[in-house]
């Protein structure tokens, strides 16, 4: 199956929804009658994006608010403090039914790294206490004797001399020669003398050496335990740890996320169509202030249900297959939000989110983005090349659209060479100019730039042919300029694979 597209050319001078300039927006577009997931993957890697079946690309150096394609790298993603706050808020609401309708962004949130630091401190304290314990309890009496000896050493010299003189006088008075001392065996008084049931005394110096040796051994063991345990304690919690944390048996609410194919519509999608549409209608009226007659069923279908992407289910692909889906958020048996996504060979591409305004306090925009990042990681486990999360466009000139840059690590697409550049390297340039070429290599060019226009494929009068054959059969004025423009925008590979419809 080949993609069939009808190029509409540039569209200039229409109202911008970001800065409200009445005629500031400029883009090129084409109607996609059908499209393979690989072709769309290659197109969004060149700055294209779809709305229903209409695929468009901003003219970056002319439009009032340049829109840069942004992608997150979920395999290295770690939730920020504000992301954790949203995840904890959802868990608290599901488990206890508690929530705050105030300014949620001002609520304090504990840092997970601080928690890990407390665990490290607790382990260190226990090990320090253990190292201070003396394994020489059997030598307590030696320590006591040592203290007695130290006390004797500290006695004044005069006291010692006096004691010695008294001892000598006692011997002379007894009639014994002064040069001899008679030793009389006697039983020690209670509480004095060595306890023969215990090991012989050791010098205090030896005891101190033994104690030091024991400390060194214990410190070595402690360092080894800390080395083994510390990485585990310092490992920050992932989004899965928050999202799939076990709820209590009697939790206040139950949340289920269902992925249903929207094109072609699955039976589950058809069964929930009306309920999903009603959520969309309320969202448009309350959040975007649309009049009640604007969010019609046909408008909803064209915008968020119709898709040019062909469903594919290869054996080595994700379990859900490739194509367009609605990710439905069911709370206690009813839909409260829907994330519209495309599952492509290398990424999950976010298209749109709408939700019940009654549940705005749950920060469903942030929560759904984190769920889609987790979903991308889940798909990656089976399909290794599927490892990116595309968030649409990053618009630095519009402050309210900069939030996408908070999902790190992320990259922006260079609008001239179509290479990915880490967003940290792009932001300084964007502070100085709305339009920027991110690739710092001045010699680098678009590797997919059109080289052979004659190899472009055309669908003309129900016949597929290369462009050079079409030119010979074409009647009327030449359309080579518009075909050249189309080829430059889609690149050599897509121009040779997709079919450009010409009437």
| Three-state SS at 300 | helix
Query: Would you mind telling me the total number of residues written for the chain in this entry?
Result: 503
Cα–Cα separations (whole angstroms), residue 379 to 330, 353, 404, 463 = 21, 20, 22, 38
Average pLDDT over residues 449-457: 96
- Number of Cβ within a 10 Å radius of residue 201: 18
pLDDT at 234: 67
pLDDT at 162: 44
User: Dihedral of CA 465/466/469/474: which sign?
Assistant: positive
Cα angle 306, 308, 313; round to 5 = 105
For the record, the structure tokens of 147 come out as 């203290």
The pLDDT tens digits for 29-74 are 999 999 999 999 999 999 999 999 999 999 999 999 999 999 999 9
Range of the structural domain that residue 375 is part of:
82-101+199-396
Cα–Cα distance measured from residue 70 to residue 67, given in angstroms and rounded to the nearest whole number:
9
pLDDT tier, 204 (very low <50, low <70, confident <90, very high otherwise)? confident
Average pLDDT over residues 397-408: 95
| Three-state SS at 258 | strand
Decide if 365 contacts 401 (C-beta within 8 A). Answer: no
The pLDDT tens digits for 134-162 are 443 444 444 344 444 444 444 444 444 44
Average pLDDT over residues 329-348: 98
* Range of weakest confidence among 13-27, 264-278, 304-318, 408-422: 13-27
Average pLDDT over residues 78-101: 93
Query: Could you give the dihedral angle defined by the CA atoms of residues 232, 238, 243 and 248, in that order, rounded to the nearest 10 degrees?
Result: 20
Q: How many domains does the chain have?
A: 1
pLDDT at position 405 over 70 = yes
Any domain includes 420: no
Decide if 204 contacts 212 (C-beta within 8 A). Answer: no
In the block, residue with structure tokens 């080395």: 227
Position with higher pLDDT, 206 vs 118:
206
Cα–Cα separations (whole angstroms), residue 23 to 19, 436, 461 = 11, 22, 37
Any domain includes 64: no
- Number of Cβ within a 10 Å radius of residue 312: 16
Any domain includes 289: yes
pLDDT tier, 434 (very low <50, low <70, confident <90, very high otherwise)? very high
| Three-state SS at 411 | strand
Within 8 A by CB and 6+ apart from 402, the residues are: 394, 395, 396
For the record, the structure tokens of 273 come out as 């169509």
The pLDDT tens digits for 205-245 are 888 888 888 888 888 777 766 655 554 556 788 999 999 99
Average pLDDT over residues 164-176: 44
User: Structure pTM?
Assistant: 0.75
Any domain includes 65: no
Cα Rg of the chain, angstroms: 39
Cα–Cα distance measured from residue 355 to residue 361, given in angstroms and rounded to the nearest whole number:
11
Any domain includes 352: yes
pLDDT at 322: 98
The pLDDT tens digits for 93-111 are 999 998 876 544 433 323 3
Any domain includes 26: no
Any domain includes 305: yes
Show the DSSP H helices in 56-139 as ranges: 81-96, 112-132
Cα angle 329, 18, 434; round to 5 = 120
Any domain includes 338: yes
């Amino acid at each position: 199956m080949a993609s069939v597209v009808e190029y509409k050319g540039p569209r200039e001078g229409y109202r911008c929804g970001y800065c409200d300039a009445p005629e500031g927006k400029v883009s090129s577009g084409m109607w996609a009658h059908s499209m393979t997931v690989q072709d769309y993957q290659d197109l969004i890697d060149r700055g294209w994006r779809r709305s229903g079946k209409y695929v468009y690309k901003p003219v970056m150096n002319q439009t009032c608010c340049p829109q840069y394609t942004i992608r997150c790298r979920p395999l290295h993603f770690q939730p920020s403090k504000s992301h954790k706050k949203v995840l904890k808020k959802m868990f608290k609401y599901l488990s206890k039914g508690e929530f705050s309708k105030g300014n949620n962004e001002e609520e304090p949130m504990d840092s997970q790294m601080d928690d890990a630091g407390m665990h490290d401190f607790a382990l260190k304290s226990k090990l320090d206490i253990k190292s201070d314990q003396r394994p020489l309890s059997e030598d307590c009496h030696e320590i006591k004797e040592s203290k007695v000896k130290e006390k004797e050493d500290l006695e004044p010299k005069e006291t010692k001399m006096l004691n010695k003189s008294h001892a000598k006088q006692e011997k002379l008075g007894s009639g014994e020669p002064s040069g001899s001392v008679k030793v009389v065996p006697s039983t020690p008084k209670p509480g004095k003398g060595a306890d023969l049931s215990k090991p012989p005394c050791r010098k205090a110096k030896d005891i101190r050496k033994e104690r030091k040796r024991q400390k060194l051994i214990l410190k070595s063991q402690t360092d080894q335990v800390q080395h083994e345990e510390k990485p585990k304690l310092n490992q920050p919690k992932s989004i899965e740890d928050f999202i799939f944390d076990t709820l209590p048996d009697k939790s206040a609410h139950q949340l289920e996320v269902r992925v249903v194919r929207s094109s072609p519509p699955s039976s589950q999608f058809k069964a929930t169509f009306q309920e999903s549409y009603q959520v969309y209608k309320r969202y448009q009226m309350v959040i975007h202030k649309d009049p009640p007659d604007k969010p019609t069923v046909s408008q909803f279908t064209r915008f968020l249900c119709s898709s040019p992407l062909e469903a594919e289910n290869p054996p080595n692909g994700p379990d859900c297959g490739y194509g367009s889906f609605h990710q439905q958020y069911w709370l206690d048996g009813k839909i409260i939000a829907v994330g519209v996504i495309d599952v492509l060979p290398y990424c999950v591409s976010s298209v749109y989110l709408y939700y019940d305004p009654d549940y705005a306090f749950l920060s469903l925009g942030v929560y759904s983005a984190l769920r889609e990042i987790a979903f991308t990681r889940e798909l990656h486990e089976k399909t290794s090349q599927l490892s990116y999360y595309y968030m649409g466009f990053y618009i630095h000139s519009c402050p309210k659209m900069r939030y996408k840059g908070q999902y790190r690590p992320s990259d922006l697409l260079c609008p001239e060479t179509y290479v990915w550049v880490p967003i940290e390297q792009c932001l300084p340039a964007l502070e100085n100019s709305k339009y920027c070429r991110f690739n710092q290599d001045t010699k680098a060019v678009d590797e997919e730039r059109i080289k052979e226009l004659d190899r472009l494929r055309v669908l003309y009068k129900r016949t597929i042919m290369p462009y050079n054959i079409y030119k010979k059969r074409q009647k009327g004025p030449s359309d080579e300029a518009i075909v050249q423009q189309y080829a430059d925008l889609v690149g050599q590979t897509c121009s040779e694979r997709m079919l450009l419809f010409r009437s």
